[in-house]
Structure 1
Amino acid sequence: MYIPKYYKVTDADEIWEFVQSNSFGTIVTVKQGRPIAAHLPLQLIKEGDTCYLTGHMAYGNPQWRTFADSDDVLVMFQGPHAYISSSWYEDENVPTWNYQAVHAYGQVSILSEEELKGDLAILLQKYEKHRKNPVLWDTLSPELVEQQLKGIVGFKIKVQEIQAANKLSQNRNERDYQNIIHKLYEERDFNSKQMARLMERKVKKGL
């Protein structure tokens, strides 16, 4: 991913916090010279200094069969994004787009059935534990579990390289920056308002 110096993120804790908060990712591999992708919920698992991304896809999805021949896979995560009009600047310039993105590269392998069960239990805990009637791993019937396991393939990616970009108008002066936030709040779409809130939080943290 091309990242100008203004927008490059190097803080590992910040990057992994972003991945945890925006964990619906896109995994890209190559089949017969052609890139293919799947959009999946993924989990970040840390084991000492090593980080893994884990997930599962349908058995009928042919992408998992490319894993054995893949030296590297690419996983992409995206956060809020919004159009930035240059009419919001003091000086003449061209429009642009603000966004957050993380690219992770690594080696992928298939999970054993026991590893997959453990990963699914963690996934359910993450998204169900706060609900009134949570659907957790130990509340599911063994018959349903065995039936569903036949239809999915679990995998884990050992992360070997990470690239992260926060393009949030850091190159603008303070007056432009504050005006961009104000104008984004006036936009009608949800993404623009999300970007405005994000830019405000970054100012409080010192960007």
Structure 2
Amino acid sequence: MYIPKCFKVTNVDEIWNFVQKNSFGTIITTEQGKPIATHMPFGFTKKGDDFYISGHMAYGNPQWRTFEACNDVLVMFQGPDAYISSSWYGHEEVPTWNYQAVHVYGKASILEKNELIEELTKMMEHYEQNREHPVLWDKLSPELLESELKGIVGFKIKVKEIQAAYKLSQNRSETDYINIIEKLQNEGSPNSKQIAELMNKELKNRI
């Protein structure tokens, strides 16, 4: 991913928090030069200094069969994004787009059955934790679980490289920056408001 220096994020803890918050991502591999992508939620684990991403896909999805041949797979995570009109600047300029994106590269391997159950258990606990009647692994019938396990393939990715870009108008003057925040807050779009909140947080860090 091309990242101009002013938009590059290198704080690993910050990036790790970002991907966990925006855990529905896209995994990309290739088969005979053709890209293949699947959209899915991911799980995250840190073991010592190593980071792992885990997930599962339908057995009928041919992408998991490409893992062995691929030296690297790419997983992409994205936060909010918003159109930035150049009419919000104090000088002539072209429009642009603000966004947050993280690309993670690593080697994927297939999970054993016990590893898959552990991954699914943790994922359900994570996403069901605030539900009034949480659906957890040990609350489901063994028959249903065994049937579902036959239809999916679990995998984990040992992270080799992380690229992160937060394009939030950092290259604009303070006057333009503040005006962009105000305009985004008035856009009415949830994404625009989220970008405004992120920019406002960054502004406070500058002061």
Q: Structure 2 regions of 5+ residues with no counterpart?
A: none
Deviation at 1:102, TM superposition (A): 0.4
User: Aligned partners of 1:173, 1:152: CA distance in 2, in Å?
Assistant: 51
User: Aligned partners of 2:13, 2:97: CA distance in 1, in Å?
Assistant: 25
1:167 partner amino acid: K
Q: 2:27 matched to which residue of 1?
A: 27
1:67 partner amino acid: F
Structure-2-length-normalised TM-score:
0.97
Q: Structure 1 regions of 5+ residues with no counterpart?
A: none
Q: 1:3 matched to which residue of 2?
A: 3
Written as runs of structure 1 = structure 2, the 5 A alignment for 1:1-207 is 1-206=1-206
> Given the superposition, is the C-alpha separation of residues 115 and 206 from structure 1 closer, same or farther in structure 2, using an over 3 Å criterion?
farther
2:28 partner amino acid: V
Structure-1-length-normalised TM-score:
0.97
User: Aligned partners of 1:119, 1:161: CA distance in 2, in Å?
Assistant: 22
User: Aligned partners of 2:135, 2:203: CA distance in 1, in Å?
Assistant: 39
User: Aligned partners of 2:30, 2:116: CA distance in 1, in Å?
Assistant: 24
1:81 partner amino acid: D
Say if 1:57 and 1:154, in contact at 8 Å, map to a contact too: yes
**Equivalent residue of 1:69, what SS?**
coil
User: Aligned partners of 2:130, 2:104: CA distance in 1, in Å?
Assistant: 29
Deviation at 1:193, TM superposition (A): 1.4
Give the fraction of aligned pairs with identical amino acids, expressed as a percent.
65
User: Aligned partners of 1:203, 1:125: CA distance in 2, in Å?
Assistant: 35
How many equivalent residue pairs? Answer: 207
Alpha-carbon displacement from aligned partner over 1:123-160 (angstroms, at most 9, x marks no partner): 00101122111001111111110010011000000000
Deviation at 1:33, TM superposition (A): 1.2
